[in-house]
Amino acid sequence: MIIGHTVRQGLAAVVLLAALPAIAWSADGAGTIKTLSGSATVTKAASGLALPIAAGQRVYAGDRIATGPDSYVGIMLNDDTRLTLGPGSELVIREFQFSPATYAGGFLVSFLKGTVKVVTGLLATASPERVQFTTPSGTIGIRGTEFVVDLEP
């Protein structure tokens, strides 16, 4: 009985330790707001509330970021991908996972409206098939390192 209990405790500890890297990915979020000129909001998927954003703020998978008129937002994802949203633009970070130790992971970002400049980072270099950008009318495959998406109304 004591041996069985000890094995169960050891197994539980191993499972907990194995889950820590996934928890760390979530805790780090997807990236950081690096620059802000004008006004912008982030809408959290869980609450649906649109809140003003500020430089230095963390962004997470599920966040919808929108810029106001005459506003710009620069986002640095954790794999060094840079996203610059122009005035009246909107995107959603649908999925994001990245391990800085192995460069494993992937992400999906949906452009909803406006203009976004993208400079890809480590994930697009290591695993371009795991990096996806979508628009209302299609999906962008990554073969280069820099591009601009301009969605006309």
**Domain locations in the chain as residue ranges:** 30-151
| pLDDT given at position 27 | 54
Distance from C-alpha of 26 to C-alpha of 4, rounded to nearest angstrom: 33
Answer with the residue of higher pLDDT: 45 or 152: 45
Which helix or strand (DSSP H or E) is residue 3 part of? helix 2-28
The Cα 69–Cα 89 span in angstroms is: 9
Return the closest-CA partner of residue 99 out of 55, 140, 130: 130
Residue 37 reports pLDDT greater than 90: yes
Average of per-residue pLDDT across 74-102: 97
CB 31 within 8 A of CB 74: no
CATH no. for 30-151:
2.60.120
